[in-house]
Amino acid sequence: MQKNEVSVLGVSEVRWKGQGEIRSGDYTVYYSGSERAEKSVAIVVHESIVRSVVKKVVYNDRIIAIKLHAAPVGILMMQVYMPTSDEEVEELYDITEEILEKDGKGDPNTIIMEDWNRVIGDKSYRNIVGPHGLGRRNHRGQMLINFCERNGLIATNTWFRKPKRRLYTW
């Protein structure tokens, strides 16, 4: 992170039990896991950003968020680890939208870092999906597009030309 000057990083599959925060060198790790140490998520924040964290939202072992004080508007950053079973996916979208409604008020900038486990394809769609995606859109990819459309979000990874090896959005 330091070498690439990354100040905030979302991580899936942390495999830590429980919830909490750990300070390590110049970074603080906010994490949320289950009792079985699987499916956990974390947000790693550089010390220069930590003082801007005004709220930590730990919902479950698949969703964690932090709210940052910034000017002119705040920033809500979420890390979500989508499951592979369709049953759980719908539930996680609902929870994510609840967090957006509750903690996304006040017109903050919202960034959702996520392991979506889906393919949104290489075809542009309105102002949500750009022209630089990969593959052919699947059902779950369409679910993501619908989620973005309902919540005024975009799939940023598709708006920048990158080498093929960096296009995977799984």
Domain hosting 168: range is 117-170
State residue 47's pLDDT score.
Answer: 95
State residue 166's pLDDT score.
Answer: 67
Q: Is the same domain home to 99 and 124?
A: no
Q: Is the same domain home to 9 and 67?
A: yes
Digit-coded pLDDT (tens) for 105-156: 776 799 999 877 788 888 999 999 999 888 889 888 899 999 999 999 998 8
Q: Is the same domain home to 59 and 23?
A: yes
Q: Is the same domain home to 5 and 28?
A: yes
Q: Is the same domain home to 74 and 140?
A: no
Cis status, amide bond into 72, omega within 30 of 0: yes
Contacts of 75 (CB under 8 A, 6+ apart): 67, 68, 108, 109, 110, 111
Q: Is the same domain home to 13 and 64?
A: yes
Q: How confident is the model at residue 20 (pLDDT cuts 50, 70, 90)?
A: very high
Q: Which strand (E) or helix (H) includes residue 24?
A: strand 19-24
Digit-coded pLDDT (tens) for 47-73: 999 999 999 999 888 999 999 999 888
Based on the structure, what is the number of domains in the chain? 2
Q: Is the same domain home to 8 and 22?
A: yes
Taken as a whole, the chain contains a residue count of: 170
Q: Is the same domain home to 165 and 90?
A: no
Concatenated DSSP letters of 106-167: SS-EEEEEEE--S---SS-BTTTB-S---S---HHHHHHHHHHHHHT--BGGGSS---GGG-
